[in-house]
Structure 1
Amino acid sequence: MGLTSDKVLALAVGSAVLLFAGTVWVWPRLARATWRAVSGRIALLLATQVALFGSLGIAANQAFGFYAGWADLFGQETGQGVVVDHTGHGGGPLQVVGTGRVPGASGSLPQIAGEVQRVDVVGRTTRIATPAYVYLPPEYFQPRHRTRTFPVAVVLTGYPGTARALVDKLHYPRTARQLAEDGRMQPMILVMLRPTVAPPRDTECVDVPGGPRTETFFARDLPDAVRAHYRVGGKPGSWGIVGDSTGGYCALKLAMHHPGVYAAGAGLSPYYRAPADPTTGDLFRGDKDLRNRADLRWFLDHEAAPDTALLVSSSKVGEPNYKATLEFIKRVEATNLTRISSIILDSGGHNFTTWRREIPATLQWLSGRLTDH
């Protein structure tokens, strides 16, 4: 049974309930002052608390999508994946490995409800391979739109995150479909994945010297793979990128570093400088220029202003990035070229509940800044 299985959660909750009931039932028999009775009380309390916290942890993981499975949880995903060269075998840098319905959509036909495809993406230049989900709007399958190209939004999770959470927990496909149906945004293709393309390491979308070239993957390989497989716009004005937390930092950085690729970048609860901690390791290997460019505020102060549009979000109460976000907005405004917008809530924590409140407005904002050609 997988970590995200409902059966695992039910088993954990059931174990906690039984242990609690057993503790209440057996406790009078362990009321003596002997070492066996004391050891029994300690063992029961410890087992009950482990079961209780395990249940809470599994429930939180299901709600927020921190880890995709047991190997992900225990750090056993150590490889970067195996690159399969499909040249000459009818394949390409993007392979569809499964299809499914859009959660919450009525109807099963893709020309009515749209479709979510599970894909494997292979980076031709970076040798990075990663899974992703692609949302295709109903219009993509309708005969009258068979020659139409569509704008694309790359959607990134936080760290460690799971790509499936973007579909099931943050409801990106459902929200995009409903907004387009209501006429509040244009139909867009969503390419949903996590920035952790070299698990378990958090590469912060950096081209690590001697390591994974994550920034190049998102700036070159991913767009090339999507263009080769889907009817998408080929010009910079057709592509945007959005993410939360770590994904928000990546989205802003990629839009700023590569305005010729991404015409707009939205960061939900982002931070503005790559951290250095046990999950990242040494990202820069002593390269001061690389470290500076990864600091978005330094970039605005020392590099040419990028011709792109940015959106940032925070809340006055509950988000640790509020002051940093206000400072970032001022720095962008001072460039007179880069455009900046914001979503500032009165209150809201660093969690899925807050981001679900911001996603509809964010997708509308992206839609208004992308073209379909």
Structure 2
Amino acid sequence: MIRRGPRIAAAITITGLMLTGVLPVGAVTAEGLTVSTPYPSVQVEPGGEVTFPIDITTAAPETVGLAVTAAPEGFETSLRGGGFIVSSVFTGGAQPSAEEPPLLELQVTVAPEAAPGDYEVNLQATGADGRMTDLLLRLTVDEVAAGSVSLDTEVPSVRGDSSQTFSFSLTLSNDTAGEITFGLEAAGEPGWDVTPTFSGEELAATSVVAAGETATVDVEAVAPEGIPAGVYPLLVRATGGSYTAEAPLQVDITGSYAMSISTADGRLNATVVGGGSTTLPIVITNDGTAELTDVTLSASPPGEWEVTFEPSTIASVPVADSVTVNATITTAGNAVAGDYQWPIEADAADASDSIEIRTTVETSSIWGFVGLALIAVVIAGLFLVFRRYGRR
């Protein structure tokens, strides 16, 4: 439906036109009473609304009565001034005034079932002394006369991981003959939070777009937590009167990347004999919503220790899945008994994690046997010495 366009002041003042003999377009006069409108012939769609700004001038101040004396069946008309429905107006006459002239408009609503063609509405003005003049207005009803509205964007698709806030900028165009008050709404798949707003009017639920003008619509979309990778459609709709414009959008979720590293039993410690080795199962878990690929492990052990991983590279870790890698820890032969702490790291292209491993190095039990053997040898030696020389 065509909405009311920018209001044109219908000054009800003396213009001197009667003195010069020059009348505005769409004007009729009778004995010093002139009724005019700048656009006496317009196009409109069935069910549409047209607003004619009306100007009335007289040679002297007086009250002028107004009435619509002819209108097609099913058409609705009303005269409005100062926010009221009026049936007369007081003109200022020839004396200039510093006050703003009153606004007078004739609103015509076309019958929804009106067939294409020309229709006439007659506005009659009656002076205080009974003189009358008529202003004939013509409406051409046409299915395409109203123009159209559109909602467009240069970037209808964006891409990123699910932790981002996705933004779009749209242009709402009003290519009709009148201003339209638009409301906005948006929709996405369950769990999506999609918010459209008029640029610069974040708290306004609606915005008025003048005829032939545009407005910028900002859209923000937030994906639900844990959403898997994929392409998700969104729809933004602007509605004003009988007009609706839609803009399909889409977000390509690449998924979020996150991993965690731990041990098979959750304990971050190991025990190894100096110079020996031990195997520690390391578990890599994909905590994101996108597949992890080419995960490599590395370690920074003390001194001359050596740590190897089997496998050394993980080709893929699916979403919500885990892969176990065996870490073989070999200590240096001269490692001193005690506790050692060092990191193991897991790295992929888009995520990483690390843990600290506490390793306890113990002295080999073979040295205990060697010590016992030495003690036994010493005791045996002393026994032989005392036995041989004890009686002398």
| Shorter-chain TM-score range | under 0.3
Give the structure with the higher percent helix.
1
- What TM-score, normalized by structure 2, do the two folds share? 0.16
Task: Work out which structure has the larger RCO, using CA pairs closer than 8 Å and 6 or more positions apart in sequence.
Answer: 1
